[in-house]
């Protein structure tokens, strides 16, 4: 019976390596997105002299938006691999910060990035408000506020979890009570 239990545990632990397929897929998607970014950048550079200020700002915001999305993908790939698959070997100090992103921190960073992306998109919409109806503007604003509230709730829950862990650690260090 102990052998069966050990075999099952080994299979379950080894299954984490299946996540590598997802992280590699995200890396391929990121490379494709980089090509898309390059195309947007090329179009921006070739047309910047004939663009109005508002159009220039909208294009720049689109590039910032793309950079945030790419950063989010990298964050998920690296921290996901580090937290769920295997620790990275030390690459001469290149990745010293990797161990600092745990699952809770990742959730907060992802939520914050989504809020930032949503903010940029909403700013683009407001700068181009003539193309939208009042109802569309209202719904886009409400969706953005939903992202903001969700991020705040996640941060609050993470804070409570951190305080609970700290309280348990302090209680364990004090030893048994009266």
pLDDT digits (tens, 9 = 90+) for 79-98: 888 878 887 776 665 665 55
Local confidence band at 113 (pLDDT 50, 70, 90 cut-offs): confident
pLDDT in tens, 25-66: 999 999 999 999 999 999 999 988 888 887 888 889 889 989
Q: Which of 27, 145, 119, 125 is nearest to 64 (CA)?
A: 119
Residue 172: both structure tokens together: 């364990």
Domain annotation covers residue 166: yes
pLDDT of 1 above 60? yes
Domain annotation covers residue 83: yes
Strands (E) located in the chain: none
Helix, strand and coil content of the chain, in percent to the nearest 5, comes to 85, 0, 15
Domain count, the chain: 1
In this prediction, residue 79 carries a pLDDT of 83
Q: Is 17 helix (H, G, I), strand (E, B) or coil?
A: helix
Domain annotation covers residue 161: yes
Segments forming the whole domain that contains residue 51: 15-174
Local confidence band at 164 (pLDDT 50, 70, 90 cut-offs): confident
Is the CB of residue 114 less than 8 Å from the CB of residue 157? no
Domain annotation covers residue 3: no
Distance CA 18, CA 66 (A): 28
Domain annotation covers residue 20: yes
Distance CA 31, CA 25 (A): 10
Domain annotation covers residue 98: yes
Is the CB of residue 66 less than 8 Å from the CB of residue 30? no
Q: Which of 78, 98, 68 is nearest to 19 (CA)?
A: 78
Tell which wins on pLDDT, 112 or 98: 112
Domain annotation covers residue 6: no
């Amino acid at each position: 019976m102990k052998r069966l239990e050990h075999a099952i545990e080994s299979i379950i632990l080894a299954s984490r390596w299946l996540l590598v397929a997802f992280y590699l897929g995200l890396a391929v998607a990121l490379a494709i997105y980089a090509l898309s970014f390059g195309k947007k950048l090329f179009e921006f550079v070739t047309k910047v002299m004939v663009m109005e200020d508002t159009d220039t700002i909208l294009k720049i915001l689109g590039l910032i938006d793309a950079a945030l999305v790419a950063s989010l993908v990298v964050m998920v790939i690296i921290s996901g691999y580090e937290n769920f698959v295997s620790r990275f070997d030390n690459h001469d100090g290149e990745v010293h910060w990797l161990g600092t992103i745990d699952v809770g921190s990742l959730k907060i960073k992802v939520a914050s990035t989504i809020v930032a992306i949503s903010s940029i998109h909403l700013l683009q919409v407001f700068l181009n408000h003539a193309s939208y109806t009042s109802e569309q503007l209202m719904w886009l604003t409400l969706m953005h506020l939903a992202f903001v509230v969700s991020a705040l709730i996640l941060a609050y829950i993470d804070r409570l979890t951190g305080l609970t862990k700290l309280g348990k650690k302090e209680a364990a260090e004090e030893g048994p009570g009266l």
